[in-house]
Amino acid sequence: MSIKQIRVIGICGLLVVSQVSAAVSLQDPQVTARQGTSEPQEYSVQEFESPMVLELPLPDLRGYAPGYGKTFTRGIRRFVCADSSIDELTVSRGKTSGRGENVQTSIGIEGFVYVRPSYDRLVDLELSLVKEDRTIATATVHDIDAGEEYRTKFKTRLKLPLEELEAGFEGEPQPKLKIVLSVADND
């Protein structure tokens, strides 16, 4: 898909307008899902049995002010696990606290679990900040009582030393947010 973009350039009081075409991707960058240890698949809606593992590339959160970050929508909601999906997910930089060697920070994670028309579910989320094979921080949200055809909100924080956050975004590869979504019936 391409859009038209207008570029306005002011040169010594003279106004010049030109058109430029640019390609824009409306998908979130490289969100992948897999079943256990199998390779990720990339196409529209993908169905998985529980548990499902999602891996999301993170923006460099060091450049964001506390409370700001990235929202994943289209790229994440297309992965469905036992009629449940994460409908929206926001990852944001948390506040920094402490002094000296004990400076702590956090990564805020909030979003919605959506259940397709079927029946209510109990959803557990295991969230991890990972870089290569190393886990930097983890958090778990248990027993999200997700009603069918509803968006149920969840919210948590990954707490970690500030130096771990800084080191995580140094060099390549960039860290990812790994989400293990486990779904059970909630009769």
Q: What is the pLDDT along the chain (187 residues), one digit of tens a residue?
A: 333 332 222 223 333 333 322 222 234 445 666 666 555 555 578 999 999 999 988 888 888 999 999 888 877 888 999 999 998 899 999 988 888 778 889 999 999 999 999 889 999 999 999 998 899 999 999 999 998 898 999 999 999 998 888 888 888 888 999 999 999 988 7
**Number of other CB atoms surrounding residue 106 within 10 Å:** 21
In the chain the first and final C-alpha atoms are separated, in Å, by: 44
Three-state DSSP at 102 gives helix
Handedness of CA 55, 59, 61, 64 (dihedral sign): negative
Predicted model pTM: 0.74
Which structure tokens are listed for 143?
């027993």
pLDDT number for residue 169: 86
| CATH class of the 26-185 domain in this structure | mainly beta
